[in-house]
Structure formats: structure tokens, C-alpha cells
Homo-oligomer: A and B are copies of this chain.
Amino acid sequence: MEKVKIKEATVVYIEKPKLRNPVLIEGLPGVGNVGKLAAEHLIDEIKAKKFAEIYSNDFPPQVFVNADGTIKLVKNELYYKRTRKGKDMIILTGDFQGMSPRGQYILAEAVLDIAEEMGVDMIYTLGGYGIGMEVEKPRVIGAATHPEIVEELKKHGVIFKGEEGGGIIGASGLLLGIGMLRGFKGACLMGETSGYIVDPNSARQVIKVLTELLGIKISFARLDEKAEEVKRITDRIKSLEKSLIEKEKKEDLRYIG
């Protein structure tokens, strides 16, 4: 690898695959980590291959330590997958989003540059839609660059609020917003989530809609396992809280008695 100078967005290619009409799918850390969970699950299930890394001096200045004691600089990653029928896929995921507005814009534009070069015309951005309370059956909320995509998404059960003024913050919004100005089409799929905890169950709903839209089938087993693990942990916390409250009640009674 050559001498790398890390700017707001420095792309390091591992390979430059030729793809047919690929769609770009983005899932970066955010509300409930829904987008990142969804993107990672997709990458694992379709066995997508990493072809580029993006470093940025707008990411936190740090490395992560792997289980074997080696380190890795924080980054975003781009994967691809060729499909027999239908469109090929590019998937963006990573450790962080840019920390400043400026960095966010520059990173989004760097991704759009890659997308343009590789022939992408449709972008799906994935994220969480925080509603501030637990949700058993998360719906998928949508937004899109063009009215005809809104109509298409509605057919797949995606919900549109029909109100003016909501906002989509970060890469999921910017890739579509800047993308529109550059001629891309796209949609944002947001799984309802409490916003308090990582939410594999919400990610499952998002990825379910996405795979339907893309006409592919994948297993959700691993995401279901993660969802169950999170449920076990939250249930344990709730049960602990309950027994604590009951203990306190008993002690209160003792004082009275």
C-alpha cells in the first residue's frame, strides 16, 4: 500500500470490480444502530466482498483492538456482490460517521463519486426511526427522492408519515439529498426503534423490505439470534428492576408494621 495522506475522505481501493447497474446500500452507525446491523447482516448473508476502505480525519482519532491483540484504524468499508439476475450490489458500512457537518458532506460526496464511477443509479439508505418507547412490531418508515419511488415503497408496506418537516440526519439523509442534485434516485428505509438500545429486531424489518425490493432471499436466523440475545438482556434488567421495587415495598411495610 502506498503512502496514504488521510483527508476528510481518503478512499483506498483493494480492487475495482466491474459491476452491472449496481444499487448502493448504506448502513452506518446511528439510532439503534439499525442501519449498521442491517448492512452487516446483508454483507454476511450474501457473502459480499470488500473492495475499498474510506479513512477520514473527521472520524475520531483512534484505533480499535481486535480479539487477537492487533489493531485497526477506524474507517468505513465498501463491499460488492454480483448477482445472476437483477442488479449487482455495493454496500457501505463502517465504524463511524463524520463528526462535523463539513466532514459529513465531504464523506457523502466521496461515496457518491464512487457510486457514479461504478454506474449506480439507485441508492438505499438504512437507519433507525427513534420513537422513544419499546416497539414490538417495528414498522418501516420511508422517504425518497422521487414521488414514483414513494408509490413503489408503499406497495411493500413502507409507511409514509404524510407530514411536512421531519428530518433525516447524517449519511442516510445526505447521500439522498446531495445524490438528488447529482441525478441519483434513492430511498431511505427507517425501522422504528426505541432509540435506547441496539435493535436487531428493527434491522430485521428494514432488511426484509430491502430484500423484497431487490428481489433476493436471505436467512434472518443470525439477526433473530441477536434480537433474542438483546431481549434476554433487557428482560433480565426489567426483572431485576421489578424485584428491586418489590424489595423496597416490603421494607417500607416493615417500617409501618
Instruction: Say if the beta carbon of A59 comes within 8 Å of chain B.
Output: yes
B173 and A63 within 8 A (CB) = yes
- Complex partner residue of A61 from B142, B145, B164, B174, CB under 8 angstroms: B174
B173 and A69 within 8 A (CB) = no
Instruction: Choose, from A16-24, A98-106, A225-233, A238-246, the stretch at the interface.
Output: A98-106
Mark interface residues in A87-103 (1 if CB within 8 Å of B CB, else 0).
Answer: 00000000000110110
Find chain B residues with CB under 8 A from A57 CB.
Answer: 101-102, 104-106
Instruction: Choose, from A40-48, A181-189, A201-209, A213-221, the stretch at the interface.
Output: A181-189
For chain A, the count of residues having a C-beta within 8 Å of the partner chain is 65
Given contacts A12-B181, A180-B73, contact A65 B168 (CB under 8 A): yes
B101 and A167 within 8 A (CB) = no
A73 and B177 within 8 A (CB) = yes
Mark interface residues in A105-145 (1 if CB within 8 Å of B CB, else 0).
Answer: 11011000000100000000000000000000000001111
Given contacts A67-B162, A73-B178, contact A101 B144 (CB under 8 A): no
Find chain B residues with CB under 8 A from A177 CB.
Answer: 62-63, 71-74
Give 15 pairs: A residue, B residue, CB < 8 Å, sorted on A.
Answer: A1-B183, A12-B181, A57-B106, A60-B169, A62-B174, A64-B164, A64-B165, A65-B161, A65-B166, A67-B163, A68-B162, A70-B144, A71-B168, A71-B173, A99-B101
